[in-house]
């Protein structure tokens, strides 16, 4: 089945640690995105990538990093520089402009 897979579903991290969230898609989409969702805040864009080996910062990129070495994969690293990392993280992909974005099931990150 085609789709987007995020892992893990739940993640706990100690303060000061970096953690990497996985996002894989087999839809052959060029564009991929990472969003963060907090209660009452809607979805906010962290990073996006339109093509392999290229990515751009979104509205809230500070404290995050990404890579796009393969078309299928767009991992997100939450670094210790992110001041408030506890949130629900959603990965999405799309063919291009004026097309719907497909979402993964999300990763809920909790800093303990």
Partner 1 sequence: EDKVVQSPLSLVVHEGDTVTLNCSYEVTNFRSLLWYKQEKKAPTFLFMLTSSGIEKKSGRLSSILDKKELFSILNITATQTGDSAVYLCAVEARGSGYALNFGKGTSLLVTP
φ, ψ for residue 40 (rounded to 5)? 75, 5
58 vs 63, beta carbon nearer partner 1: 58
Choice from 18, 20, 26, 56 touching partner 1 (CB under 8 A): 56
Choice from 22, 50, 73, 79 touching partner 1 (CB under 8 A): 50
Choice from 41, 83, 84, 112 touching partner 1 (CB under 8 A): 41
CA distance 26 to 13: 28
Whether the CB-CB separation of 11 and 108 falls below 8 Å is answered with yes
- The reply on whether position 102 binds partner 1 by CB under 8 A is yes
């Amino acid at each position: 089945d085609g789709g987007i897979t995020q892992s893990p579903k739940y993640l706990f991290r100690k303060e000061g640690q970096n953690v990497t969230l996985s996002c894989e898609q087999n839809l052959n989409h060029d564009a991929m995105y990472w969003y963060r969702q907090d209660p009452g805040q809607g979805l906010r864009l962290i990073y996006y990538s339109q093509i392999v080996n290229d990515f751009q910062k979104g509205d809230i990129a500070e404290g995050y990093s990404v890579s796009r070495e393969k078309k299928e994969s767009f991992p997100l690293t939450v670094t210790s520089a992110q001041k408030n990392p506890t949130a629900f993280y959603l990965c999405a992909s799309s063919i291009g402009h004026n097309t719907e974005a497909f979402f993964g099931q999300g990763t809920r990150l909790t800093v303990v």
